[in-house]
Amino acid sequence: MTTYNFKKLLQKSGWLTHVQVMVDDHGLITSITTSEDENGFSPTEHSIAIPGFQNAHSHAFQYAMAGLAERHEGSENPDDFWGWREAMYQLALSMNPDQMEAIATMLYSEMARHGYTNVAEFHYVHHDKNGKPYANLAEMGTRLIAAAQTAGIGITLCPIFYQKGGFGQEPNDRQRRFISPTIDTYLQLLESSREACKNYEHANSAIGIHSMRGVEPADIAEIAQSGPQDIPFHIHVSEQLKEIEDSIAYLGKRPVEWMLDNVALNERYHLVHATHLTETETKGLAQSGAHVVICPSTEGNLGDGLFPLRKYQQEGGKWSIGTDSHVGLNPLEELRILDYGQRLISHKRNTYFSPQQGDGGTYALEMATLSGRKAMNNDEEEYFKVGTPLNAFVVDGTHPLLAHCSDKNLASTLVYASDSAMQKATISHGKVIVENGKHACKDEILNEFSRTMNTLRSR
């Protein structure tokens, strides 16, 4: 049994004061008790706890190239998404399973340092360097699960169905490690991945479709209808303008338009990016109950564009955040970038609509938490509850901007005015895995990562 004392703890209904949380040996909460007495639970460290963040979209291997696609000398390096993609292909072709695990472990430990306690891993590097399946179809996925276990966070493994090189096009040779040619081969990969998740108690799985350009649309509809119905369904969609142009040429419809017409979207669907939507698509997507996963730092880095958040929220749309290519890993920064992009195009400041009048910070944390949990197949709506794991991001309540902050201003201060100096700890499944900016296994994780990077020589 472990006891944690907090000066403040955020629940969906609001802030609790002077809180004691007890967890059992499995990291499950056994009690949540409050005291009116300031010294009732001796919160000597004046810690403020919010729910651990959910990273709803990750390509772990791309962490190894973060910051490396910013040079654009000459015609060999076009400065758009498609030029960046070629650099990504080269990295994907170079690494072996040990290296994948080392990179992912470093990444996941850094996610934990920034307050993430769960990640949805959109995983498509499946095969060996020649494009042949490993004896264990989920070999690479197994390494990602092991990485999450070492880092101490939960993982939802989304093995990706990747079949085409574009709308109506065969895959190119640089995509050879990604490809499942048929629905049956993909479902075999998915089943192998679900078996691999049994090796770690905090792992589960979800369906993943790379995109409408990456899988024949009829096959997407078939998997949506006939595939497992008890797990989330993740798909890239409408990220790039060229993708939309190609979709119209091939299908006569835009990607989200086609999805709305051909797939019975509901709350288990998580459409990643969805950057370029018409008003009709925006309204239809919100009303379907599906979620959008927005990755502000990556979308900004790639020049994707800005998701129509204001209209989507007006229609009741739900959204979560992800770090995608990992050029940014701070969830509070992702929320700020998302908001500020909307402010810049609307010339208004009330971007996050909320049940609490004007309380954008509280609403942003609610969306990131609850929609993010849905992406992980977690339907729990209370932030901290007896019988559930204690997953928390803890900040230092003695920081000058927080020490005398009222409850009504606390969430927005965290979202809009926080920095790394405020970060105190990350608790995952009842264990402190990061304290004072250092992961509990940092040294060994960093050593393996350094060996990998020295071997790959990609940086």
- The structure tokens listed for 251 are 């299908």
Number of C-beta neighbours around residue 289 at 10 A: 14
E strand map for 238-333: 269-273, 291-294, 318-321
Active-site residue, selected from the candidate residues 59, 114, 246, 324: 324
CB-facing half-sphere around the CA of 414: CA atoms within 13 A: 29
Are 31 and 12 contacting, i.e. CB atoms less than 8 angstroms apart? no
Q: Compute the distance between CA of residue 459 and CA of residue 332 in angstroms, rounded to an integer.
A: 27
Active-site residue, selected from the candidate residues 273, 276, 291, 399: 273
Is 324 catalytic? The answer is yes
Q: Compute the distance between CA of residue 433 and CA of residue 442 in angstroms, rounded to an integer.
A: 10
**Alpha helices of 174-227 — where are they, by DSSP H?**
183-196, 217-226
Please give the DSSP secondary-structure letter assigned to residue 52: P
Are 304 and 239 contacting, i.e. CB atoms less than 8 angstroms apart? yes
34-46: buried (b, 16+ CB within 10 Å) or exposed (e) per residue? eeeeeeebebebb
Is 273 catalytic? The answer is yes
CB-facing half-sphere around the CA of 33: CA atoms within 13 A: 14
> Which residues are designated catalytic?
273, 324
